[in-house]
């Protein structure tokens, strides 16, 4: 497969993409590959370079090094051909507070010289309806709640039929119900055949709607791929509950594992270890040695474990 | 809740979006939409309307004060002030002269300084560019919007002056600076000509404001800088030590419209002014282009 063939299957492809602000390397040589038709989760802690990467993709900022291809075309070189097919929500919604929601959408649609003025009214109305804002169309954006502005921002991305949607933190400021609505909207867009690129620091959100994901940390891309593979990449753990701690540990050591014995409740020992053998073989050996197995579980790492392992714990994130 | 019904309704995703039907690549792209949107937004905005109203208040204020006072001693106050009681047509001319040094540059500074920085300040600049508006096209549209305001600002003064003058004072034939007497209709034309002269005078300042507006995300900064420059230029024009510089100052011909009040009309200062302003448009337009086309939009 040549690189051109690979590129044809990608909605977004970056090669060695870097952006430097003064001394800080905000985006550090990332090679992102977003397959067409995927719902792609772009994860990373705040300040890890997600929004800067999105700005580079959309031609809002110029890369210090590397290249970006969006929908098979070079950015920002082919910006005028690419962007009409891309709907975007970048770093939160932004509107003219003195205009109504509908007037704001009219304004942005007028800025797209490829959008037909004849269908503008209908398209604005449909976009507003799609995000549930029809009732507030004539209201000044100044009077909108944060969640309503967020919805309007998404409506702006949906003004025309798009091949690619780039949604930066689309559920920011939304209540749980609004978050669910955005999830179902993303699914319906993907069902229509659009590629949806969603940046988020909310793992649960990404786990629920995405087919693929990438993880950013301190400007670097530390992992990417289909969601299932990302989850698998974390090692599975065995969790064994038994009163016979010594014998059980002996069995696990025979399998080449390094058990850790704990006594959380006093009575039974809880032994944990990285899984290095077939679970059924371990259980058989334990029973054969007369170990009283009161609990046995294999725990796969969640995306959250993987995320934390790659980007650091809590506030101790990589800077 | 109607929200959720609408968003997650079955078939919401499969509903055909009329979006691109009328926008096949063969269709001629429409550049007028953005310009129309810009002009509508500019003139429907309360702030713009307030600026124009404030300008229109100048002749009204002058006319009312003159009407209420017993007599105006000749040769004192702004030019032509003493002529107003005999002929209302002088209200507009007097107000236009009063507005030149500060009021007009002030309002132009607000509008031109806001062009790009105002969009950046609202965060809407990134959405216009992603639409995509095109950076050059957006810059041109913004400048044309500022020019439209340069046309309307002196016009607001002139028309309000003509209206209030006709309402409060007699209107009759006007004696020009050359001694010729013209009918009120021709006098009105001359006043509109002065307004046009001032529109041309402000084009250079607008280009400067546009450039300054590409430098910052804080519109007030660009506005203040533009207004300060307009004052600085006039101050420098007063200093004899800088005489070599005077013909190059964008405010140099701001008061040079007396020739329009002669018979026949002298176009020399109008032409010099237009060429000077064209030079400023070229230089600051190029600077704005150079800055804006390569700018990282991070607002």
* Structural domain span for residue B37: 31-293
Look at residue B3 and tell me if it is in a domain. no
pLDDT value at residue A256: 84
Domain limits of chain A?
3-232, 237-299
pLDDT value at residue B1: 37
User: Residue B25: which pLDDT band, with cuts at 50, 70 and 90?
Assistant: very low
Instruction: Read off φ and ψ for residue B229, nearest 5 degrees.
Output: -60, -40
Tell me which fold the domain A3-232 belongs to. Answer: Rossmann fold (3.40.50)
CA atoms of B232 and B229, how far apart (whole Å): 5
Higher per-residue pLDDT: B3 or B29: B29
User: Residue A313: which pLDDT band, with cuts at 50, 70 and 90?
Assistant: low
Taking contacts as CB-CB distances below 8 angstroms, the residues of chain A near B131 are 83, 108-109, 111-112
CB atoms < 10 A from the CB of B15, how many?
13
Question: How many beta-carbon pairs under 8 angstroms link A with B?
Answer: 161
Pairing of strands A73-75, A65-70: antiparallel
ipTM reported for the complex surpasses 0.90 = no
Q: What is the pLDDT of residues B67-91, one digit of tens each?
A: 888 776 777 777 778 788 888 889 9
* Most confident option among A112-121, B2-11, B178-187, B220-229: B220-229
Our count of domains for chain B comes to: 1
Look at residue B229 and tell me if it is in a domain. yes
CA atoms of B256 and A225, how far apart (whole Å): 70
CB contact residues (below 8 A), chain B span 12-51, against chain A: 12-15, 17-23, 25, 27, 29-31, 33-34, 36-37, 41, 45-46
CB contact residues (below 8 A), chain A span 82-141, against chain B: 83-84, 86, 88, 90-92, 94-99, 106-119, 122-123, 126, 129-132, 134-135
pLDDT value at residue B179: 86
Angle, alpha carbons A309-A313-A317 (nearest 5°): 100
Given CA atoms B116, B121, B126, B127 in this order, what sign does their dihedral have?
Answer: negative
Q: Kind and range of the H or E element at A208?
A: helix A203-209
Look at residue B7 and tell me if it is in a domain. no
pLDDT value at residue A9: 86
* Chain-chain contact of A114 with B29 (C-beta, under 8 angstroms): yes
Q: Are A150 and A173 in contact (CB under 8 A)?
A: yes
Q: Are A65 and A16 in contact (CB under 8 A)?
A: yes
Q: Which tokens in the block code for residue A199?
A: 């940046």
A168 and B CB contact within 8 Å: no
User: Residue A234: which pLDDT band, with cuts at 50, 70 and 90?
Assistant: low
CATH architecture of the domain formed by A237-299: 2-Layer Sandwich (3.30)
A266 has pLDDT over 80? no
Given CA atoms A106, A107, A108, A113 in this order, what sign does their dihedral have?
Answer: positive
A311 has pLDDT over 70? yes
């Amino acid at each position: 497969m040549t690189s051109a063939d690979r590129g044809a299957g990608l909605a977004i492809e970056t090669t060695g993409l870097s952006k430097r602000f003064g001394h800080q390397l905000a985006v550090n040589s990332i090679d992102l590959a977003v397959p067409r038709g995927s719902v792609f989760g772009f994860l990373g802690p705040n300040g890890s370079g997600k929004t800067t990467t999105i700005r580079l993709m959309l031609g809002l900022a110029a890369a210090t090094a590397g290249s970006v291809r969006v929908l098979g075309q070079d950015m920002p070189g082919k910006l005028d051909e690419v962007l009409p097919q891309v709907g975007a929500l970048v770093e939160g919604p932004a509107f003219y507070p003195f205009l109504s929601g509908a007037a704001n959408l009219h304004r942005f649609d007028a800025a797209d010289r490829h959008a037909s003025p004849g269908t503008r009214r209908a398209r604005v109305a449909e976009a507003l309806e799609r995000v549930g804002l029809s009732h507030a169309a004539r209201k000044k954006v100044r009077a909108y709640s944060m969640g309503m502005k967020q919805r309007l921002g998404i409506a702006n991305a949906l003004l025309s039929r798009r091949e690619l949607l780039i949604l930066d933190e689309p559920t920011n400021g939304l209540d749980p119900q609004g978050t669910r609505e955005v999830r179902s909207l993303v699914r319906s867009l993907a069902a229509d055949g659009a590629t949806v690129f969603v940046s988020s620091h909310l793992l649960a959100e990404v786990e629920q709607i995405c087919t693929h994901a990438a993880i950013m940390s301190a400007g670097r891309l530390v992992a990417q791929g289909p969601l299932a593979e990302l989850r698998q990449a974390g090692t599975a753990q065995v969790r064994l509950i038994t009163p016979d701690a010594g014998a059980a540990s002996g069995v696990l050591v025979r399998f080449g594992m390094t058990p850790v014995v704990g006594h959380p409740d006093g009575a039974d020992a809880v032994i944990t270890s990285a899984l290095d053998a077939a679970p059924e073989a371990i259980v058989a050996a334990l029973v054969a040695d007369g170990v009283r197995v009161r609990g046995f579980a294999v725990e796969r790492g969640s995306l959250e474990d993987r995320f934390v392992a790659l980007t650091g714990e809590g506030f101790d994130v990589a800077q | 809740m109607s929200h959720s019904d609408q968003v997650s309704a079955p078939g919401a995703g499969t509903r055909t979006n009329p979006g691109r039907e009328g926008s096949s690549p063969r269709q001629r792209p429409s550049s007028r939409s953005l310009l129309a949107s810009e002009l509508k937004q500019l003139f429907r905005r309360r702030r713009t309307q307030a600026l124009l109203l404030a300008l229109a208040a100048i002749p009204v204020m002058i006319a009312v004060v003159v009407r209420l006072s017993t007599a105006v001693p000749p040769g004192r106050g702004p030019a032509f002030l003493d002529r107003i009681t005999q002929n209302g047509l002088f209200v507009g001319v007097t107000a236009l002269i009063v507005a030149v040094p500060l009021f007009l540059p002030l309002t132009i500074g607000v509008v031109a300084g806001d062009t790009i920085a105002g969009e950046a300040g609202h965060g809407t600049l990134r959405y216009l560019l992603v639409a995509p508006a095109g950076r050059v096209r957006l810059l041109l549209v913004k400048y044309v919007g500022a020019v439209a305001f340069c046309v309307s600002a002196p016009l607001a003064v002139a028309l309000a002056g003509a209206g209030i003058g006709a309402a409060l004072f007699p209107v009759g034939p006007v004696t020009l600076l050359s001694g010729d007497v013209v009918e009120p209709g021709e006098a009105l034309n001359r006043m509109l000509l002065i307004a046009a002269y001032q529109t041309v005078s402000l084009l250079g300042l607008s280009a400067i404001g546009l450039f300054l507006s590409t430098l910052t995300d804080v519109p007030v900064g660009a506005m203040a800088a533009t207004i300060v420059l307009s004052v600085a230029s006039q101050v420098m024009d007063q200093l004899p030590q800088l005489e070599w510089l005077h013909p190059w100052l964008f405010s140099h011909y701001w008061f040079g419209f007396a020739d329009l009040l002669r018979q026949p009309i002298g176009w020399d200062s109008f032409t010099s002014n237009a060429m000077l302003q064209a030079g400023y448009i070229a230089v600051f337009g190029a600077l704005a282009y150079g800055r804006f086309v390569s700018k990282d939009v991070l607002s």
